[in-house]
Chains A and B, each alone.
Chain A
Amino acid sequence: NAGVTQTPKFRVLKTGQSMTLLCAQDMNHEYMYWYRQDPGMGLRLIHYSVGEGTTAKGEVPDGYNVSRLKKQNFLLGLESAAPSQTSVYFCASSETGGGRLNQPQHFGDGTRLSIL
């Protein structure tokens, strides 16, 4: 099992460019999440999804869009990148349903994004 895989691992963008970050999980998890982490700070939730076809806003959703067309994939889009979006982006997934609502999150290794 690969767990949670994020692509790309690194990217440099110019202000105003757009891009999509891909998160894939092979654990058949229902919930998926996107976080950002700025230097020296904890993780902040951008958007999350409780199942295929559903998304919800987290703590810092502005400037980002997400889609969950397939259960195993969660995409994070930046329509017009800004220097303030320079950060490390982490994706996570967790199992839920039945008696397993308290299961922990499994994280990917992150995407390091720089906006010039």
Chain B
Amino acid sequence: DAKTTQPPSMDCAEGRAANLPCNHSTISGNEYVYWYRQIHSQGPQYIIHGLKNNETNEMASLIITEDRKSSTLILPHATLRDTAVYYCIVKITNAGKSTFGDGTTLTVKP
């Protein structure tokens, strides 16, 4: 699985968009980009994933650059409940294991 690099922490104002970057410069062609988050002491929660195209669901949008070496998770209208550690993970389609790094601690402030 490709390694990922994320900033250790970010702040965002409540109601504004939160843009969380992830670098995965060694990603290979069959690896997906997944985003999870972990809200204090709870189990990680799946947010979104994608291969090449941008993806959107009810929680967030995922923007993947054309060369696939980086991506951005966008929470369009951040709330205080979005304060969490956000993990970006890259893994191949048929491998079960995933590597969770240290993630980005997002703090949404009123």
B partners with A: yes
Task: Give chain B interface residues in 87-110, CB to chain A under 8 Å.
Answer: 87, 93-94, 96-103
| Of A14-22, A38-46, A77-85, the one with at least 4 CB within 8 A of chain B | A38-46
* Inter-chain contacts of B101 with A (CB < 8 A): 42
Residue of B nearest to A41 (CB): B102
Task: Say whether B65 faces chain A, with CB atoms less than 8 Å apart.
Answer: no
Q: In the A-B complex, list the 7 residue pairs whose CB atoms are closest, starting with the nearest.
A: A107-B43, A43-B100, A104-B46, A42-B100, A101-B93, A31-B96, A101-B94
* Contact partners of B93 in chain A: CB under 8 A: 101-102
- Which partner residue on chain B sits nearest A112 by CB separation? B41
Nearest Cβ on chain A to B82's Cβ, whole angstroms: 18
Asked whether A50 lies within 8 Å of B96 as measured between CB atoms, the reply is: yes
Our pick among A42, A90, A96, A102 for the contact of B32 (Cβ within 8 Å) is A102
In this complex, the interface size class of chain A, counting residues with CB under 8 Å from chain B, is 20 to 34
The DSSP consensus for interface residues of chain B is loop
**14 A-B pairs whose Cβ atoms sit less than 8 Å apart in the complex:** A4-B43, A42-B102, A43-B87, A43-B100, A44-B100, A45-B98, A56-B96, A59-B99, A102-B51, A104-B49, A105-B46, A106-B46, A110-B41, A110-B43
User: A59 to chain B: closest CB distance in Å?
Assistant: 7
Which secondary structure dominates chain A's binding surface?
strand
Contact residue among A94, A101, A110 (Cβ-Cβ distance under 8 Å from B42): A110
| Shortest Cβ distance from B87 into A: residue | A42
CB atoms of B43 and A104 under 8 A apart: no
Would A107 and B44 count as touching, CB distance under 8 A? Answer: yes
